[in-house]
Structure 1
Amino acid sequence: MSSDSNDYGWDESRGISLLAKLRSDLKQAMREHDDDRRNTIRQVISEFPKLTVPITLESGKKSTRLKKDEEITDDDILGVIAGLVKSEKTTLELQKKTSSPYLEILNSYLPQPAGADEIRAWIAANIDFASFKTPMQAMGPIMKHFGKKADGNLVKKILAGQSD
Structure 2
Amino acid sequence: MSLLANLNQDMKQAMKNKDKQRLDVIRMVKASLQNESIKHGKHDLSEDEELIILSREMKQRKDSLQEFKAAGRDDLVAKTNIEINILKEYMPKQLSNDELATIVQETIDEVQASSKKDMGKVMSAIMPKVKGKADGSLVNKLVLKYLNN
Q: Same fold (TM over 0.5)?
A: yes
CA distance in 1, matches of 2:58, 2:25: 11
Identity %: 30
For residue 92 of structure 1, the aligned residue among 65, 82, 85 is 65
Q: Which residue of 2 aligns with 1:154?
A: 138
Q: Which residue of 2 aligns with 1:115?
A: 96
Greater share of helix residues, 1 or 2? 2
**RMSD value, Cα:** 2.6
CA distance in 1, matches of 2:128, 2:100: 12
- Once the two structures are TM-superposed, the CA of residue 43 in structure 1 deviates from its matched residue by 1.2
- Once the two structures are TM-superposed, the CA of residue 130 in structure 1 deviates from its matched residue by 7.4
Contact in 1 for aligned 2:104/2:139 (Cα 8 Å): no
Matches within 5 A, 1:1-164: 16-52=1-37, 66-68=41-43, 71-96=44-69, 97=77, 99-125=80-106, 127-128=108-109, 131-134=112-115, 136=119, 137-162=121-146, 163-164=148-149
Q: TM-score, normalised by structure 2?
A: 0.73
Residues matched between the structures, number: 137
Greater share of strand residues, 1 or 2? 1
Higher Rg? 1
CA distance in 1, matches of 2:94, 2:110: 24
- Runs of 4 or more, structure 1, over 6 Å off, are none
